[in-house]
């Protein structure tokens, strides 16, 4: 197993939230690029990092397929590869900002990152196995395994596993990836191979991918019935407990940081990142008066792939004292971030406008 302290102590930008299994938060933004370096990228693990020998690693594809296959890393690398930038955000990112901070890993703003992922489109891999016409969903399993924490848990060890509907998995940007920012994945980030599902919370981007099973019904494993679920209202029925899927429209302030002191009368660049599941961003606004008035920020990076976009707004604070900063993203379909957390989401899907308290001195 990889030594967690090697990673956690390597940079002041990282904060270890849990040592066993390793869960590390990042700082969260590189102000010079939308790309987060691998060593500054958050780590969310449910079980110990598995030891995998890349030379003997195999990806098994079975279930509702015509031709079950087993691929080596060489087999994958022999296929035409592509690179796609995308945000990965933990479904619990921002949990520390909820009222009455709930249980779960205590993420601040740093359980999100943006990287360029290189691998084979999943649909090309699936084509080799040949999906049967009644397949509706794919179950992705990692090599990581253990007994999960919650009360409603299975009695024996399970692997980390999530499913994604077939129509999503066939999008060209869904990758079986072995590189992050041009370098082979590290053990923390899923080496030798992980799934990348752009536009979905990172719960779907299964690390240490070893098995794909095509099924003909919804998968109801632990990580989509007990954990990573929320109460959704559908079709006039009572709330239903459904798995977390697509990421929500969001922006975060990277600077100033929480409780930072800022000099009155001097320019302060407020900057951060904003992202969506796929609908293009329309803009980002900043408020210094608890959301009464909003100022338009400027984008500093283009809309590219599923990457987040950097933005800034220059503030010249005058009044000495405590202030709070908020950012709010909108998309071209008219969505905007809500002012309050939706209680039906419990400790997930934290997409409301978060207040960053600062002190003008």
Could you list the residues that contact its own copies (CB under 8 A)? 63, 139, 141, 151-152, 154-156, 158-159, 161, 213, 215, 218-222, 225-226, 229, 231, 235-242, 343-344
Return the number of the residue (96 or 139) whose C-beta is nearest its own copies. 139
Structure tokens at 47: 């079980």
CB of 259 to its own copies, least distance (A): 31
**Positive or negative CA dihedral for 32, 36, 38, 41?**
positive
What string of DSSP letters covers 107-171? --S-SEEEEEEEEEEHHHHHHHH-B-TT--EEEEEEEEEE--SSSS--SS-EEEEEEEEHHHHTS
CB of 66 to its own copies, least distance (A): 17
Return the number of the residue (103 or 289) whose C-beta is nearest its own copies. 103
Return the number of the residue (97 or 231) whose C-beta is nearest its own copies. 231
Return the number of the residue (235 or 334) whose C-beta is nearest its own copies. 235
Return the number of the residue (104 or 291) whose C-beta is nearest its own copies. 104
CB of 215 to its own copies, least distance (A): 7
CB of 154 to its own copies, least distance (A): 4
Output b/e per residue, 159-189; b: 16+ Cβ within 10 A. Answer: bbbbbbebebbbbebbbbbbbbbeeebbbbb
How many C-beta atoms lie closer than 10 Å to residue 263's C-beta? 11
DSSP 244: -
Return the number of the residue (111 or 158) whose C-beta is nearest its own copies. 158
Return the number of the residue (68 or 302) whose C-beta is nearest its own copies. 68
The closest of 84, 48, 281 to 197, measured between CA atoms, is: 84
Which residues have CB under 8 Å from 53's CB, separation 6+?
none
CB of 175 to its own copies, least distance (A): 23
CB of 18 to its own copies, least distance (A): 21
Q: Phi and psi (nearest 5°) for 307?
A: -75, 155
How many C-beta atoms lie closer than 10 Å to residue 289's C-beta? 11
Backbone conformation region of residue 146, classed left if phi is above 0, alpha if psi is from -120 to 50, else beta: left
Which residues is 234 bridged to in the sheet?
none
CB of 235 to its own copies, least distance (A): 7
């Amino acid at each position: 197993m990889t030594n967690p302290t090697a990673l956690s102590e390597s940079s002041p930008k990282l904060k270890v939230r849990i040592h066993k299994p390793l869960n590390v938060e990042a700082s969260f933004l590189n102000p010079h690029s939308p790309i987060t370096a691998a060593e500054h990228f958050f780590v969310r693990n449910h079980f110990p990092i598995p030891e995998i020998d890349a030379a003997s690693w195999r990806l098994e594809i079975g279930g509702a397929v015509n031709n079950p296959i087993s691929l080596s890393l060489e087999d994958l690398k022999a296929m035409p590869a592509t690179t796609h930038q995308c945000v990965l955000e933990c479904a619990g990112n921002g949990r520390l900002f909820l009222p009455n901070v709930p249980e779960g890993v205590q993420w601040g703003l740093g359980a999100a990152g943006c990287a360029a992922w290189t691998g084979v489109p999943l649909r090309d891999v699936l084509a080799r196995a040949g999906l049967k016409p009644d397949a509706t969903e794919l179950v992705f399993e990692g090599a990581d395994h253990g007994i999960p924490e919650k009360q409603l848990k299975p009695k024996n060890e399970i692997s980390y596993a999530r499913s994604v509907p077939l129509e999503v998995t066939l999008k060209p940007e869904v990758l079986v990836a072995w590189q992050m920012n041009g370098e082979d994945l590290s053990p923390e980030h899923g080496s030798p191979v992980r799934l990348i599902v752009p536009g979905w919370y990172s719960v779907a981007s299964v690390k240490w991918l070893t098995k794909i099973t095509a099924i003909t019904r919804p998968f109801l494993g632990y990580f989509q019935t007990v954990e990573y679920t929320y109460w959704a209202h559908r079709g006039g029925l009572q709330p239903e407990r459904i798995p977390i899927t697509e990421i929500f429209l969001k922006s975060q302030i990277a600077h100033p940081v929480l409780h930072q002191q800022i000099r009155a009368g001097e320019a302060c660049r407020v900057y951060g990142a904003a992202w969506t599941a796929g609908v293009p961003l329309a803009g980002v606004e900043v408020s210094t008066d608890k959301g009464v008035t909003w100022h338009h920020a400027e984008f500093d990076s283009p809309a590219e792939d599923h990457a987040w976009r950097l933005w800034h707004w220059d503030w010249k604070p005058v009044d000495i004292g405590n202030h709070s900063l908020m950012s709010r993203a909108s998309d071209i379909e008219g969505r905007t971030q809500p002012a309050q957390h939706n209680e039906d989401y419990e400790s997930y899907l934290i997409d409301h406008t978060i207040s960053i308290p600062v002190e003008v001195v």
